[in-house]
Amino acid sequence: MTIRTVVWGENVHEQKNKIVAQIYPQGMHQCIADALNTDPAISATCATLQEPVHGLPAARLAETDVLIWWGHAAHGDVKDEVVERVVQAVWSGMGLIVLHSGHFSKPFKRLMGTSCNLTWREAGERERLWLTSRNHPIAAGLPAHFELENEEMYGEPFGVPDPLETVFVSWFQGGEVFRSGLTYKRGAGSIFYFRPGHETYPTYHDANVQKVIANAVKWAHNPQPRIENVTLAPNVPVETALEPIEQRGPRLHQAGEEGFH
Residue 58 or 238 with smaller CB distance to a second copy: 238
Residue 59 or 242 with smaller CB distance to a second copy: 242
Residue 52 or 141 with smaller CB distance to a second copy: 141
The phi, psi pair for 20, rounded to 5°, reads -65, -40
Report if residue 135 touches a second copy, rule: CB under 8 A. yes
**CA neighbours closer than 13 Å in the CB half-sphere of residue 34:** 12
Question: Contacts with a second copy in 33-92 (CB under 8 A)?
Answer: 72-76, 87-88, 91
In angstroms, give the least distance from the CB of 39 to a second copy.
Answer: 15
What is the full DSSP assignment across 136-205? -GGGTT--SEEEEEEEEEEESPP-SPPPSEEEEEEEETTS-EEEEEEEEEETTEEEEEE----TTS-GGG
Report if residue 256 touches a second copy, rule: CB under 8 A. no
| Near a second copy by CB under 8 A: residue from 40, 144, 228, 256 | 144
3-state secondary structure of 6: strand
Question: Contacts with a second copy in 196-255 (CB under 8 A)?
Answer: 198-201, 222-224, 227, 230-238, 241-243, 245-253
Number of Cβ atoms within 10 Å of the Cβ of 251: 9
Judge whether 253 and 259 are in contact, CB under 8 Å.
Answer: yes
In angstroms, give the least distance from the CB of 68 to a second copy.
Answer: 19
In angstroms, give the least distance from the CB of 196 to a second copy.
Answer: 14
